[in-house]
Structures are given as structure tokens and as C-alpha cells.
A and B are shown apart, each in its own frame.
Chain A
Amino acid sequence: MTPPSVEPGAELEPVSRVVTLEDMLLFEPEGEKNIHTDDEVARAAGLPAAIAAGVQFMSYIFDMLHREYGFQSVEGTVLDVRVREPVFAGDTVTARGRVTEVQADGSGRRVSLEVWCETQRGGHVIAGTAQVPVAGGEAGGVT
């Protein structure tokens, strides 16, 4: 098991997914018709096709943080992102993170990170920051 990244500059193990139309439909309530599920609604709003919901990619970042810092670090995590570029069905989206600062926090540490999701085109889909509480000496990995 690899220790979690707690050194400034350290990069997290990325999480990469191909976004399918099925994913986009499952992310919305069943039968929902909006710019995330329906090409016609998206075109009426000036988009070339349905775009994936921005919050879908917050999930990828939460998953990346969970894999890196473990289940015990989920509560207390703060994620703050801006949505930048649209994602269409078939795009590959990769969540990435880089540690920017580590501060003592009670008996543990609080890790601050830059986080973002990018597509195969290189653009950032969402980007922002995260703060994750890490217990002293805690091992990483999914638990």
C-alpha cells in the first residue's frame, strides 16, 4: 500500500474515466430531460449536443481523494471548484490533484490541494481546491 501524498508538490494517482451517454443518463433522475440528457434540449440552449453535468466530475475528484487518503478522511473534506469546459459523451476525463500545503490540525494534518479534471483535449473541465483531513501516520488506499 502506497503512503498518502502529504508533501507539497506531490501528485495524486489520477482517476480516469470515459464518459458515456449511459453515465450521463444515470447521473440524472430517471426520465429527466435537460441539457445533460437530451441533445435537442442542449441544441435549443446553443450547445452542439448534450453535455455531462459538472457535478459528475466532482465525483471523480472525491473518488481520487478517497483512494489517496482513505475512508477516514472523507468527513471533513472540503471541495471548491469552478466548472470550465463542457464534456460530451465519449470524452475521456481524468481527475488530478497536487498537494500545495500541509498544516497541523489537532492530532493530524490538513492537506490542501489543487484539483482538476481534464479531457483528452487537455482543457480543464473543472478546477479548484480541496482540503482533506489526514490522521497522523494514516496509511492511504481505499479502505
Chain B
Amino acid sequence: MAEGERQKADQAFHELPIGTDIGSIEYTLSEERVERHLKATHQTPYPERGGERLAPVSILASDGIWLAEARFDISESVHAGQRLEVLNIPIVGSRVRVSGKVVDKFEKGGRQFVVMDVVSEDDRGRVLARGRMTGVARYRPEGGAP
């Protein structure tokens, strides 16, 4: 990252208010998307339930990242930690809405961290998962461990 971009990123981090509503994104949990995830992670598919195909819950772990990406430039960011509570297994073909807000930010070991609370819901009104994601706002290899 060039120095000018670093300064902009620093400024964006310092000006980001805790409590910022990140808004929401929606996506379709398509067959293709689920197959791609299963193949990438070598997982065994779940059995069908009530005649409906289910997606592995691990696919929801990326929701916070897609949400952050829609709002911020995270191309050089790294994931520092995540809590994910699974409430309902997602159904293949459903629409998923992901929303979240910034709940904390801090600097540690030369790195800038942003903490977000994220909720994933489907088009049947079910909460699929709740999570808290901590990301390094931008990666600096000279920074210390989180």
C-alpha cells in the first residue's frame, strides 16, 4: 500500500465511529454457491430436511466479510477472530440478508482492529446466525500478534 493510501486508511480508521451501522447486503444461497463452498472445504453435505436441501452452516462464517467488503476496502485486511452462533441451518435457494454494525475498534501491536456484530437472516424470517467478527483494518506485517 502506498504511503498516501496508508494515510487515508489511517484517517478512515480514526474517523470510524463505534456504533456505525454498516447497512446490509443480500445474496441468494444458490446451488452453485453451496457446491463451490462444499468443494473448497471438502465437507460432507447435510441430509435433506422436509424435502429441502440444506447448506453447511460454515458458509455463514463469511457473511461478515462480504458485508464489510460492501462498505470498506478490505482487500488487504485479514481476519483476526470470529464468534459464530448457529441458530438455523440455511436452505439452498433462499435469500440471505446480512446486517451489522461496528461495536468496537482498537489498536494493538501496531495493528488496527475493527469489531463488528453481524446477523444473517433468511427470507422466511429466520435468524440463521449471529456473530462477532474482528478484523485487522489493513494488514501490516511489522505489526504484532493480536
Contact = CB atoms under 8 A, between A and B. Distances in A.
A13 B104 CA distance: 36
Interface residues of B, number: 39
A46 B6 CA distance: 13
Nearest to B85: A78
Contact of A55 (B36, B44, B82, B141): B82
B81 A83 contact: yes
Q: Select the residue from A23, A34, A74, A143 with max chain B CB neighbours within 10 A.
A: A74
A27 B46 contact: no
Contact of A35 (B42, B78, B80, B88): B78
B24 interface: no
B71 interface: no
Contact of A58 (B39, B61, B78, B145): B61
A81 B58 contact: no
A35 B76 contact: yes
A71 B86 CA distance: 13
Interface string A66-89: 110001001111111111100000
B13 interface: no
A76 to B, nearest CB: 7
Contacts of A23: 39-42
Given A45-B139, A63-B41, A71 B46 contact: yes
A42 to B, nearest CB: 9
B43 A59 contact: yes
Contacts of A82: 80-81, 146
26 contacts: A23-B40, A34-B76, A44-B76, A45-B138, A47-B139, A54-B78, A54-B79, A55-B58, A56-B41, A59-B41, A59-B61, A63-B43, A63-B44, A63-B56, A66-B43, A71-B46, A74-B86, A75-B86, A75-B87, A77-B57, A78-B86, A79-B83, A79-B84, A82-B80, A82-B146, A142-B44
Interface of B: 1, 36-37, 39-44, 46-47, 56-58, 61-62, 65, 74-76, 78-89, 138-142, 145-146
